[in-house]
Structure 1
Amino acid sequence: HPHYGEYWKPSSNSEHWQHVIAPAYNMGGWFDLYSKATFDNWNELRLRGNSAEARQSQLIMGAWPHGLSTSRITGQIDFGANSMVDLDAEELRWFDYWLKGEQNGILDEPPLRLFIMGRNEWRSEHEWPLARTDWQPWYFHSRGAANTLNGDGGLSPELPSDEPSDSYAYDPMAPVPTLGGNNCCSPHIVPWGPYDQQNIEMRQDVLCYTSEPLEGEVEVTGPIKVVLYAATDRLDTDWTAKLVDVHPDGRAMSLCDGIVRARFREGRENSSLVEPGRVYEYEIDLWVIGNVFLAGHRIRVEVSSSNFPRFDRNLNTGAENNGLESNWEVAQQTVHHSRAYPSHILLPVIPAS
């Protein structure tokens, strides 16, 4: 059921927020399969909940995968003892207030509690996205050879000039393998959390756009999206993007990623195939993150066409991927970054206080 329609709507939270009367304590992790949905649920309950109580819902977001606060280590990063929270105790406070009437002060606290990675500290907020967000587009640059981490791909707030495009071949029979990310629920098969992407970034079908080393800290906290101007020689294909924190020692730690299927470029309710060779604008939703890129680190965006098995492969034929299709085609992909086609990532930069 690839389309959002009658099959999915009855079980979708988005169809029922206006009926909710109970207050909810939303718990999530930046690397949880439901990280974005957790924020959506909290926002919509506070906006559309059908009672004053529902509109007092709260949220906590840690540096955790699905399963929440079970270890200070997520993926390949140790976030420190401070990252751990006794969520059972937090739940108990919540239920003691609402079910027993205990005046324990929980509603006197800000409704949003975030663990900001990089600095590895907790911070309380009142809204999402944060009201003080400075939305900054960081543009892709290259001289036409952004393939691999050793290519000439750049990333900066400066608009691109008339630069050559980048290209690669996407073969569904040799997809980019998933390494970390917002996965669930078999980490021994597909690991979750931040992982070093350097081996992934050695592939010719992975474009890497990397900033210069940062002179100071850059906090990126909020929803992330990539605006991509791209063309394929097939009727349908996929486009993926990944935000990466590159450490001074070269480790390329994944933060968040996303995908868009070309046929669903205008939403999941309707689909239309693309015209081969035509440049389209795609928005890739990378969900959410709360991370400080420290001084000396670099910001990187990977672009490709697969992330398997986190996402199913597009076979590039234009047929529905129903699990029974056996035909497949190699797609020749072109990513543009020029004055006419300014591909970029939109970063929610939080000004230093």
Structure 2
Amino acid sequence: VDGWRGDDWFHNGAFRLGIDYIWEQIATRDNSSPFARTTFDEYDAAMRAGSAGALAKAHGLDQIGFWRKLSAHLAYDGFWQAQAMDQVLSRYPLKVPVMLVHGLWDQEDIYGATAVYRALKPKDTAGNMVYLTMGPWYHGQQIDDGKALGDIQWDQDTAKWWRRTVLGPFLAHYLKGTPMDVAPVTAFQSGTNQWQRLPGWPAQPAMTKLFLQPGDTVGFAPATGPVQTADYVSDPAHPVTNVPRPVRPVSYEDNHWKAWLVGDQRIVSSRPDVLTFTGPVLTQAVTIAGQPVVHLTAATSGTDSDWVVKLIDVYPDQVPSDPKMGGYQLAVGMDIFRGRYREGLDHA
């Protein structure tokens, strides 16, 4: 839907280093030219090259028109805005019923479905044209086995349930005229592991704020006293990886790529160049829905910085039913923002 805001190529200006994907899809008409890898660990190849541009040039991507366009349009300019499908569709009347399917942990295209929903739903004045599904899935898992995502078990095959209960009746209704009972929004709530039937999304506005506190803690009340800062040293020579090394190529053969968004975050939170703020053990259920918004005040001594914020659910120290989940750190939400776009996405 939008290759700059959060699908495929960029996430808020930060480039997803997938030059092999670009090469294999575009270098030849029939995808017959494999990408020539020089290392098993993608981290080594990237660090030796020094930059995405140098790595791409070393592999001949400067010969490919699409790569040259990516390199020429680093900001969210007219090139990207003109092809953002949520913006394109918003300019046309709604004529056919649609069902938008969103994976809550879609590691490839997590932005698009809800963006299109926001663009189209106001046009659905009768409330029977725009439907949204939000499932606990990686990219495309709704057509696969949906009992688990990585180490997280859902106590049911969520994908099969959705195909039988939501997708099948929806298609039968609009293609054959069969009556259906499908809610405007069908959303899976992790934690309770239950599907919800909702009239819209988000179901209600945010009511509670979460604040960083002195002493590396968080709480539901703002901190008092003088303004304080928390500092860390970020060394570009030792960047924080999104998955444990070795960083392997994109593949759906195992969970390394497809389930990395639910990977145990202790590999990151234990690093000295990552700030971690931890709240007390929750004594009652807390529901987080919709799109979390972060208000971050930060400064860097460098020329630029990628700010990554993660909201993490920490499991109990011991989980008798599944011992390996003791202390597990599950990212409920996360995203990245490149600092140079802080004053406007359309210019660097």
Q: TM-score, normalised by structure 2?
A: 0.66
Q: C-alpha separation between the residues in 2 aligned to 1:97 and 1:43? A: 24
**One of 69, 72, 75 as aligned partner of 1:3:** 75
SS at match of 1:231: coil
Pair 1:214-2:307 in alignment: no
| TM-aligned CA distance change 1:267 to 1:75, over 3 Å | farther
Asked whether 1:59 is paired with 2:122, we answer no
Match of 1:98 among 174, 179, 182: 174
Query: Any idea what the Cα deviations from partners look like across 1:293-344, whole Å, max 9, x if unmatched?
Result: xxxxxxxxxxxxxxxxxxxxxxxxxxxxxxxxxxxxxxxxxxxxxxxxxxxx
Over 3 Å counting, the alpha-carbon distance change for 1:43 and 1:6 in structure 2 is: closer
Per the TM alignment, residue 86 of structure 1 is displaced from its structure 2 partner at its CA by 4.5
Aligned mates of 1:135, 1:30 — CA distance in 2 = 21
Across the two proteins, how many residue pairs are aligned to each other?
253
Aligned to 2:57: none
Say whether 1:24 aligns with 2:98. Answer: yes
- What is the RMSD of the two structures over their aligned residues, measured on CA atoms? 2.4
User: Partner letter of residue 153 of structure 2?
Assistant: D
SS for the counterpart of 2:304 is coil
Q: How far 1:217 sits from its partner (Å)?
A: 0.8
Alignment partners' CA distance in 2, 1:83 and 1:248: 24
What's the CA shift string for 1:135-180, capped at 9, x where partnerless? Answer: 32211122xxxxxxxxx41000121232531111112221111139
Q: Percent identity?
A: 25
**3-state SS, counterpart of residue 124 of structure 1:** strand
The one of 84, 109, 120 equivalent to 1:34 is 109
SS class of match (1:95)? helix
2:26 match = none
Q: Which has the higher strand share?
A: 1
Residue equivalent to 2:151: 76
Deviation at 1:87, TM superposition (A): 4.6
Structure 1 101/91 Cα, relative in aligned 2: closer, same or farther at 3 Å? same
Q: Report the equivalent of 2:314.
A: 246
Question: 5 Å matches for 1:133-148?
Answer: 133-142=205-214
**Whole-angstrom distance in 1 between the partners of 2:275 and 2:216:** 7
- Report deviation, 1:56: 1.4
> Which one has the bigger helix percentage?
2
Q: Relative CO higher for 1 or 2, CA cutoff 8 Å, sep ≥ 6?
A: 1
Structure 1 unaligned regions, length at least 5: 143-151, 272-353
Say which SS state the counterpart of residue 202 (structure 2) adopts: coil
Contiguous gaps of at least 5 residues in structure 2: 1-72, 318-326
Report if the CA contact (8 A) 2:170-2:180 is conserved. Answer: no
| C-alpha distance in 1 between matches for 2:243 and 2:311 | 13
* Helix, strand or coil at the partner of 2:211: strand
